[in-house]
């Protein structure tokens, strides 16, 4: 890659979108231009797509020296944010509290020792963290408090880049700079990785595999090759990848960013010179160009995001502007009247990296049954207060996918008691006062969170006394 372009890439935004209750956005930035990111700007995404600053938070040591990328990963099971800094080699860990507030866990940041860590991913159960770097792939275990313990390094010298997880089946896909896409299955108990059938997955004109995205339906993997364009794979039932006919799709220039619409119908890409293109996908041919826009920014568009449940496309340049577009029914875009949004911190700052995550549970209320869907009832646990165990009953009006979990007062997952398909009717389960590591929890308040079909939610408060 051209050295001047690498330098430009090292000065872009790091963002975490939390499209749940509060639609929050995290932006990592440096308080001085020559220093690695050391602070986070907290923003809310308003209904019309504008960004409203809520506050600024010191990271507790996210980075060290040098302008460099920072990548985020979100642990939904434990409500944590992981931050990877490729210059300092640090990995910072934050608990996410009410209204998206971040608190560094004890011992954060953790030194990982490997040169040029470029991306991180979290196991769906929250027990393991994977770090891609120029020397290979390393993975760590995490305990209930968020501390990291190194386990092993896999496949040295593969020049791994971006990662994506298919959480429903514990599959991890990694872009390797000049070797295509590697696929692994993540073990629930040990975090170890087993190669998926046929891995690695290659394609014609393979040059520099860099960025990958999995669609919302979790059946298609989009790959960005910096030189060859867009490559598309369908995800098979065993996790292997099948190359879509006619891949790669040339973009007619040096490709930079890749984004997929929330409804999976459209694909957006950028190339050098501030150009933006839109494509419809899943047609015949698979990709068809909708529009091409040139020179929308004097710089580069380095990330493209369509937040969940919105019609807004956020295009982030490598400076400090975010261009915002409204997506119409055919995939075309029109620039919002408030675009571009300038994130001006002060006259001496740097912004770095971008990453999109899914739903986050941003807060737990003290009220009982803050949402009461007619489809299910969560009865009071008994006894309450309790020691050492309590009975929990819930009633379903219809069969469906059920998740019953226990959280502490900070919003951190303690354990999941039920996660699977359940019939209609009354159900009973006992909690023995232990966390997911089979350790007895301390006295205090805990929250029962019952979800059905990933949408309807009810809660109750419990008190453990010893």
Task: Read off the CATH number of the domain in which 223 is found.
Answer: 2.130.10.10
Is 118 contained in some domain? Answer: yes
- Same domain, residue pair 9 and 75: yes
- Same domain, residue pair 347 and 380: no
Confidence of residue 106 (pLDDT cuts 50, 70, 90): confident
Is 364 contained in some domain? Answer: no
Mean pLDDT in the chain? 76
- Same domain, residue pair 21 and 133: yes
Distance CA 12, CA 33 (A): 12
Looking from the CA of 143 toward its CB, the CA atoms found within 13 Å total 10
- Same domain, residue pair 333 and 222: yes
Instruction: Kindly tell me the number of DSSP H helices and DSSP E strands found in the chain.
Output: 1, 38
Phi and psi dihedrals of 3, rounded to 5? -65, -35
- Same domain, residue pair 387 and 242: no
Give residue 285's Cα distance to chain centre. 30
- Same domain, residue pair 294 and 168: yes
Residue 390, pLDDT above cutoff 80:
yes
- Same domain, residue pair 315 and 397: no
- Could you report the per-residue pLDDT of 152-211, keeping only the tens digit for each? 888 656 678 888 888 778 899 998 887 889 999 999 889 999 999 999 998 877 878 878
List the domain range (segments joined by +) for residue 396: 376-464
- Same domain, residue pair 307 and 430: no
Burial (CB count <10 Å: 0-12, 13-18, 19+), residue 52: exposed
In the structure encoding, which two tokens stand for residue 162, read together?
């971006």
Distance CA 79, CA 447 (A): 14
Is 371 contained in some domain? Answer: no
Across the range 42-68, mean pLDDT stands at 64
Those residues with Cβ within 8 angstroms of residue 221's Cβ, 6 or more apart along the chain or in another chain? 164, 173, 181, 212, 213, 214, 232, 233, 234, 235, 241
Residue where one domain finishes, among candidates 351, 368, 402: 351
**Nearest of 207, 184, 95 to residue 144 by alpha carbon:** 95
Is 365 contained in some domain? Answer: no
Bridge partners (DSSP) of residue 141 are: 128, 149
Respond yes or no on whether the N-terminal peptide bond of residue 385 is cis (omega within 30° of 0): yes
Confidence of residue 251 (pLDDT cuts 50, 70, 90): confident
Confidence of residue 38 (pLDDT cuts 50, 70, 90): low
Q: What is the pTM of this model?
A: 0.70
Across the range 98-122, mean pLDDT stands at 79
- Could you report the per-residue pLDDT of 346-383, keeping only the tens digit for each? 554 444 444 333 333 333 333 333 333 346 788 878 88
- Could you report the per-residue pLDDT of 277-315, keeping only the tens digit for each? 999 988 777 888 899 888 877 667 877 888 877 889 988
- Same domain, residue pair 335 and 428: no
- Same domain, residue pair 154 and 87: yes
Number of compact structural domains in the chain: 2
- Same domain, residue pair 155 and 304: yes
Is 265 contained in some domain? Answer: yes
């Amino acid at each position: 890659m051209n050295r001047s372009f690498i330098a430009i890439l090292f000065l872009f935004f790091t963002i975490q979108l939390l499209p749940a209750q509060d639609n929050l956005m995290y932006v990592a930035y440096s308080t001085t231009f020559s220093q690695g990111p050391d602070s986070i700007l907290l923003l809310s995404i308003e209904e019309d797509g504008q960004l409203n600053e809520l506050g600024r938070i010191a990271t507790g040591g996210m980075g060290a020296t040098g302008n460099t990328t920072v990548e985020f990963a979100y642990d939904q099971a434990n409500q944590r944010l992981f931050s990877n800094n490729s210059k300092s080699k640090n990995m910072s860990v934050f608990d996410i509290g009410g209204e998206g507030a971040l608190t560094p866990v004890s011992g954060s940041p953790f030194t990982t020792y490997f040169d040029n860590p470029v991306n991180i991913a979290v196991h769906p159960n929250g027990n393991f963290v994977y770090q891609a770097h120029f020397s290979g792939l390393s993975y760590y275990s995490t305990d209930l408090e968020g501390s990291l313990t190194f386990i092993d390094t896999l496949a040295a010298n593969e020049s791994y880049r971006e990662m994506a997880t298919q959480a429903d089946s514990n599959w991890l896909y990694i872009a390797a700079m000049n070797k295509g896409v590697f696929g692994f299955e993540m073990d629930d108990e040990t975090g170890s990785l087993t190669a998926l059938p046929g891995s690695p997955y290659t394609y014609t004109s393979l040059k520099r595999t860099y960025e990958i995205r999995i669609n919302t339906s979790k059946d298609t993997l989009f790959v960005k090759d910096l030189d060859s364009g867009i490559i598309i794979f369908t995800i098979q039932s065993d996790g292997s990848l099948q190359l879509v006919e006619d891949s790669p799709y040339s973009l007619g220039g040096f490709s930079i960013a890749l984004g997929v619409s929330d409804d999976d119908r459209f694909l957006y890409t950028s190339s050098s010179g501030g150009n933006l293109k839109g494509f419809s996908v899943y047609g015949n041919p698979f990709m068809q160009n909708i529009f091409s826009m040139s020179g929308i920014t004097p710089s580069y568009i380095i990330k493209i995001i369509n937040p969940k449940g919105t019609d807004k496309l956020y295009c982030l340049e490598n400076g400090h502007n975010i261009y915002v577009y409204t997506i119409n029914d055919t995939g075309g875009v029109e620039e919002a009247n408030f675009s571009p949004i300038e994130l001006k911190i002060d006259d001496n700052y740097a912004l770095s990296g971008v990453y999109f995550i899914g739903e986050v549970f941003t807060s737990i209320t003290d009220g009982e049954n803050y949402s009461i869907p007619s489809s299910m009832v969560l009865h009071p646990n008994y006894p309450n207060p309790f020691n050492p165990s309590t009975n929990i009953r819930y009633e379903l009006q219809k069969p469906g996918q059920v998740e019953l979990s226990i959280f502490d007062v900070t919003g951190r997952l303690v354990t999941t008691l039920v996660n699977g398909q359940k019939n209609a009717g009354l159900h009973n389960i006992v909690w023995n006062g232990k966390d997911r590591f089979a350790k007895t929890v301390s006295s205090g308040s805990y929250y029962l969170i019952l979800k059905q079909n990933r949408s309807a939610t009810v809660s109750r408060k419990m008190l453990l006394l010893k």
